[in-house]
Amino acid sequence: MSDEVVNWLRQPGLGKYAKVERERRFLLTEMPAQASDPRFIEDRYIVGTRLRLRRIEVGPQVVYKFCQKVRPDESAPSTVAITNIYLDEAEYKKLCQLPAATLRKTRRVWQVGHHTFVVDEFHGDLAGLLLAEIELPDPSRDLSLPTSIGKEVTTDERFSGGYLAHAPSDEKAQLLGRV
């Protein structure tokens, strides 16, 4: 009997469909001039869940995703397991009826030597917040960072998308004051 049949009962974030990401996040004070390939992202964090509905727009092309992000090990904040389902527009619109907190940002790719960062420029009441993120096979290894990278916020949950989306306006303003 296959492992799949035997191990059918799984916890969220486990199993062959969950992709493990090991990321580090950093604050930036300005958008790097070399950052390119902008895409507009609207994230809807479904209230009371770990689920996110995402709309990604690149010019006239749009991609819709429904995902769950789970920390398999709470002691390793840089590691998350993400499971994505790709949707069509009708499915997306149906799921948009669920109560959610919305986050809007423009994401760009920033190549620094042999490292690739994504840089998120937030909009709305988070305008001015710039976060750079890099995925690494081993997030604990030393990383030679450009001088324009600011404070690391990987372990600060307040800079996760879900937290930022649900945070009250006064707390968002306070976080922007730290940048």
Q: What is the pLDDT of residue 8?
A: 60
What b-and-e string marks burial along 4-22, b requiring 16 or more CB atoms within 10 Å of the CB? eeeeeeeeebeeeebeeeb
Q: What is the pLDDT of residue 6?
A: 54
Judged against a pLDDT cut of 80, whether residue 79 lies above it is answered with no
Domain boundaries, the chain: 11-178
> 94-117 pLDDT, tens per residue?
999 999 999 999 999 999 888 899
The strand ranges marked E within 18-78 are: 19-28, 36-46, 51-58, 61-70
The CATH class for the domain spanning 11-178 reads: mainly beta
- pLDDT tier for residue 149 given thresholds of 50, 70 and 90: confident
Q: What is the pLDDT of residue 21?
A: 75
Q: Distance between the two ends of the chain, CA-based, in angstroms? A: 54
- Short-list 54, 77, 67, 70, CA closest to 157: 77
Contact of 56 with 40, CB cutoff 8 Å: yes
Rounded Cα–Cα distance for residues 131 and 122 (Å):
8
